[in-house]
A = this chain, B = another copy of it.
Amino acid sequence: MSFTVTILGNSSAKPTPKAHPSAQVVNFHEQHYLVDAGEGVQQQLIRRGINPLRLRAVFISHLHGDHCFGLFPLIATLGLEGKRTPLEIYAPAPMGEILDYHRRYFWDDLPFEVKWHEVRTTEHRIIFENRSLEVWSIPLRHRVPTAGFLFREKMPALNVDKFKIVKYNLSIAQIVEAKRGEDITLEDGTVLPNSEVAYLPHQPRSYAYLSDTNYSARAAERVQGVDLLYHETTYSANESQWAKGRGHSTTHEAARVAQLAGAKRLIIGHFSSRYKDPMPLVEECRTIFENTDLATEGETFTIE
Assess whether B63 is in contact with A69, with CB atoms less than 8 Å apart.
Answer: no
A97 at the interface (CB under 8 A from B): yes
Contacts of A70 in B (CB 8 A): 39
* Interface residue? A189 (CB, 8 A): no
* Cβ 8 A contact of A13, one of B16, B17, B80, B97: B80
Within 1-57 of A, Cβ neighbours of B (below 8 Å) are at: 13-17, 20, 39-40, 42-43, 46-47
B73 touching A65, Cβ below 8 Å: yes
Min CB–CB distance A225 → chain B (angstroms): 36
Is the CB–CB distance between B46 and A76 below 8 Å?
no
**Smallest CB gap from A108: residue in B:** B144
Minimum distance in angstroms from A19 CB to a CB of chain B? 9
- A interface, CB within 8 angstroms of B: 13-17, 20, 39-40, 42-43, 46-47, 63-66, 69-70, 72-73, 76-77, 80-81, 94, 97-98, 101, 105-106
Partner of A65, one of B40, B47, B76, B101: B76
Interface pair B72/A65, CB less than 8 Å apart = yes
Q: Which residues of B contact A101 (CB under 8 A)?
A: 98, 101
A17 and B43 within 8 A (CB) = yes
Note all chain B residues with C-beta closer than 8 A to A106.
63-65
The answer to whether A73 touches B39 (Cβ under 8 A) is: yes
Residues of B within 8 Å of A20, CB to CB, are: 43
Q: A85 to nearest B CB, angstroms?
A: 19
**Sampled A-B contacts (7; CB under 8 Å):** A13-B77, A15-B73, A16-B46, A17-B43, A63-B105, A65-B106, A66-B73
Smallest Cβ-Cβ distance to A102: which chain B residue: B65
Give bound CA distance, A72 to B38, whole Å.
12
* Cα–Cα distance between A101 and B99 once the two chains are bound (Å): 11
Instruction: Answer whether A69 and B65 are a contact pair too, CB < 8 Å, given A15-B43, A80-B14, A98-B105.
Output: no
A169 to chain B, nearest CB (A): 58
**Most chain B CB atoms below 10 A, which of A16, A47, A105:** A105
Contacts of A69 in B (CB 8 A): 69, 72-73, 76
Q: From B39, B47, B64, B98, give the contact of A40 (CB < 8 A).
A: B39
CA distance A82 to B119 in the complex (A): 32
Bound form: Cα–Cα A198–B49 in Å: 63
Known: A14-B81, A17-B43, A65-B106. 15 other contacts (CB 8 A): A14-B80, A15-B43, A15-B46, A16-B46, A17-B46, A17-B47, A20-B43, A39-B73, A40-B40, A64-B106, A65-B73, A65-B76, A97-B105, A98-B101, A101-B101
Q: How far is the CB of A63 from chain B (nearest CB, A)?
A: 7
